Amino acid sequence: MDRRKRFIIFLTVVFGIIFALFLIFGNGSKKSSTPKPAPEKPLTVRDYASRDSRVVYTIEGNVRGNNMYRAVRTTVSREYRLIEVIEGYQNNVIRSQKEANNSEAYATFLAAIEGKGFGAKRNTKNTNDEGVCPLGLKFIYEIYDGNKQTQRLWSTNCGGQGTSNANNTILRVLFDRQITNREKFTNNIAL
């Protein structure tokens, strides 16, 4: 056998070994592909209408002594609409009023508040709301799915603070209108 034939046989053997290794190990990296489940899309505010959920809007007053501190919390769910006046930083409810609600009213309400930014996050470096806007008001927007809090955002009337990108003026009106005789109920409450 001349050199040329040996070289051709050698190359054929080398390529054969490489091809065999590719067949053995190359397909091993391609595992049987089971489709990965699509990442779960985050719920929108409207999606909570058919769930055991509630939305909560709290207006916290300015920083004062514990016995003078007040907040007003409005909660809306499929079953009820609730307003509470809170005294002190331990969230002691000193007055409350609860009214019935229904699924259709709740779904409409969620669509309205979502349209005005309830649940819309704002990118900010300061996410801690403790002690912010000490001479003004703080607005807290919460969503609960069952007993689990799924979102808590906040803003203030001190300008440009908070994690919420909501239109607070309109949201306040929408939540206020969920409560019968709200003005009378919260009369003489100094926030």
Query: pLDDT, tens digit, for every residue of 140-151?
Result: 999 999 999 999
> What's this model's pTM, rounded to 2 decimal places?
0.77
Write down the pLDDT at residue 25. Answer: 72
Write down the pLDDT at residue 9. Answer: 76
Among the listed residues 54, 55, 45, the one whose alpha carbon sits nearest the alpha carbon of residue 146: 54
Order of strands, sheet of 53-60, starting from the edge strand that comes earlier in the sequence: 92-100, 80-87, 70-77, 53-60, 138-145, 148-156
Range 32-53 average pLDDT: 79
Q: What is the pLDDT of residues 89-117, one digit of tens each?
A: 999 999 999 999 999 999 999 999 999 99
Range 145-166 average pLDDT: 93
Range 15-32 average pLDDT: 66
Percent of the chain with pLDDT over 70: 88
- Does the domain at residues 46-185 carry the CATH identifier 3.30.1560? yes
Q: Domain residue spans in the chain? A: 1-33, 46-185
